[in-house]
Amino acid sequence: MSDTLDTVFAALADPTRRAILTMLLEDDMAVTDVADPFDMSLAAISKHLVILSRAGLIAQEKRGRVKWCKLQPDALRAASVWMQGFGQFEPVNLDAFERFLESELAAPPPDET
């Protein structure tokens, strides 16, 4: 599972790929339509799509002469489940924690009798 998560998070690290996923939330899109809003070559967009495909975030299929992209939410679901595991902890106030440690370390040890 770790390799899969690594691949998903690596794919999500790029803002262009995140924008592509957002676009695919609406509907399936032809590769040329995916590339249209970006100021980069079709070859560059195709490289982004390969990374998203390898991560399992999208599927590509050829319909006639047109290659289509479709969002595959299962890979996102696995990443989301992993991240939700961290939601069970309260946020730590590091400044308050540091003050607590300083006060505990500065306090004299309890009397041993």
pLDDT reported for residue 80: 85
For the stretch 68-96, pLDDT in tens is 999 998 888 888 888 887 776 666 667 77
Give the contacts of 15 (CB within 8 A, at least 6 positions apart): none
Give the chain's domains with CATH numbers. 2-104 (1.10.10.10)
For the stretch 8-27, pLDDT in tens is 999 999 999 999 999 999 99
